[in-house]
């Protein structure tokens, strides 16, 4: 069963105070896109990406989150040149960043392994990523921007949004773990919901990616203790909304190349983006809209009932 945690009790009191004062929290609508890249070095985006962005703009969410792999870096032999990397980001701007900006929709990003890998040999790609996004701050209030655009926190309509810098397998660094613990200690009680997002997930979702995870029980326990509500991730290229210890963890489908098969499934996940609404009371509703028209939902009953410790959200006990 879902457990009521102390931080959730504090948020409940905050909500009651708002209702008593006649101030109702507005819902927050978020579109989540992920893994838009094609083959190494490509400067072209397929029709699926363009159609998805057009549909997102039609839906007018409050903001868009990318959970990484916006461009196709991390080529090993040979490494991509600065010119090639910058050309990829220019192409991404034309396909995604500029249309969203022209529509007035804030765009919030986190690094992926193909954008800004922290493995050795890709330092220049991380530097270019930092320059590309360093002066493109979303039009949202910052809570912490000390390591923007890698790890940072924003606030939107009473919801805390936290980007984690996760482009490598394994536990967070001690510094990032301590930063997250301190941030949530300070900020979680004053927000009605907490949303984390990173590229690699905490636990596995897809075949051929079983080991491409953070895989850290200590981090899981930290998120439970601080009452994190939602954790959005990419990298596994397959949609699945699963609940573990009261946290809704959503793996995103890809919009670029390489859809994958969920653990326990038989068919590749369709290309899709996720649409999320966080209601005034903190209740979360989500759906994945699939290509080619991004109108049709992915049906939850077509997904495995559970993946490891994750239980499909419609089957999780509340």
Task: Reply yes or no on whether the pLDDT at 1 is more than 50.
Answer: no
Between the two ends of the chain, the Cα-to-Cα distance in Å is 6
Give the SS3 label for residue 247. Answer: strand
**Whole domain around residue 189: which residue ranges?**
6-312
pTM of the predicted structure, to 2 decimals: 0.93
- pLDDT band for 2, please (50, 70, 90 cuts): very low
- pLDDT band for 12, please (50, 70, 90 cuts): low
- Structural domain contains residue 232: yes
pLDDT of 100 reads 98
Task: Reply yes or no on whether the pLDDT at 7 is more than 70.
Answer: no
- Structural domain contains residue 143: yes
Encoded tokens for 283 = 């209740």
Task: Reply yes or no on whether the pLDDT at 120 is more than 90.
Answer: yes
- Structural domain contains residue 317: no
- Structural domain contains residue 130: yes
DSSP 3-state percent helix, strand, coil across the chain (nearest 5): 30, 25, 45
Task: Reply yes or no on whether the pLDDT at 30 is more than 90.
Answer: yes
C-alpha 224/C-alpha 4 separation (Å) is 10
What average pLDDT does the segment 119-129 reach?
97
- pLDDT band for 317, please (50, 70, 90 cuts): confident
Task: Reply yes or no on whether the pLDDT at 166 is more than 50.
Answer: yes
CA geometry: angle 167, 130, 191, nearest 5 deg: 70
Query: The domain spanning residue 129 has which CATH number?
Result: 3.60.21.10
What average pLDDT does the segment 296-300 reach?
98
- Structural domain contains residue 1: no
- Structural domain contains residue 186: yes
Report the number of distinct structural domains present in the chain.
Answer: 1
What is the per-residue pLDDT across 41-57, written as a single tens digit (0 to 9) for each?
A: 999 999 999 999 999 99
Per-residue CA distances from 10 to 69, 152, 192 (Å): 36, 23, 9
pLDDT of 6 reads 60
What average pLDDT does the segment 60-84 reach?
96
- Structural domain contains residue 318: no
Task: Reply yes or no on whether the pLDDT at 15 is more than 90.
Answer: no
Residue 100: which region, alpha, beta or left (left: phi > 0; alpha: psi -120 to 50)? alpha
Q: CA 78: distance to chain centroid? A: 30
What is the per-residue pLDDT across 202-248, written as a single tens digit (0 to 9) for each?
A: 999 999 999 999 999 999 999 999 999 999 999 999 999 999 999 99
- Structural domain contains residue 90: yes
């Amino acid at each position: 069963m879902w457990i009521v945690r102390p931080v959730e009790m504090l948020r409940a009191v905050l909500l009651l105070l708002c209702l008593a004062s006649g101030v109702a929290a507005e819902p927050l609508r978020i579109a989540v896109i992920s893994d838009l890249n094609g083959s190494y070095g490509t400067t072209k985006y397929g029709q699926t990406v363009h159609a998805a962005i057009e549909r997102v703009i039609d839906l007018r969410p409050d903001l868009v989150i990318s959970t990484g792999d916006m461009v196709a870096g991390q080529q090993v032999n040979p490494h991509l040149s600065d010119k090639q990397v910058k050309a990829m980001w220019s192409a991404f701007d034309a396909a995604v960043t500029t249309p969203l900006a022209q529509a007035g929709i804030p765009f919030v990003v986190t690094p992926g392994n193909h954008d800004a890998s922290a493995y050795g040999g890709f330092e220049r790609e991380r530097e270019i990523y930092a320059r590309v996004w360093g002066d493109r701050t979303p039009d949202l209030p910052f809570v912490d921007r000390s390591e923007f655009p890698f790890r940072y926190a924003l606030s939107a309509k009473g919801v805390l949004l936290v980007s984690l810098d996760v482009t490598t397998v394994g536990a967070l660094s001690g510094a990032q773990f301590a930063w997250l613990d301190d941030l949530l200690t300070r900020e979680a009680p004053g927000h009605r919901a907490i949303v984390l997002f990173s590229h690699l997930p905490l636990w596995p979702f897809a075949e051929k990616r079983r080991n491409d995870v953070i895989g850290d029980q200590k981090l899981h326990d930290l998120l439970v203790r601080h009452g994190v509500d939602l954790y959005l991730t990419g990298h596994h290229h397959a949609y699945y909304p699963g609940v573990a210890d009261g946290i809704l963890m959503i793996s995103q489908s890809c919009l670029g190349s390489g859809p994958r098969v969920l653990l326990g499934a038989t068919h590749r996940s369709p290309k899709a983006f996720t649409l999320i609404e966080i209601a005034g009371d903190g209740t979360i509703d989500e759906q994945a809209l699939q290509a080619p028209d991004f109108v049709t939902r992915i049906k939850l009953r077509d997904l495995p009932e559970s993946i490891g410790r994750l239980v499909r959200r419609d089957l999780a006990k509340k």
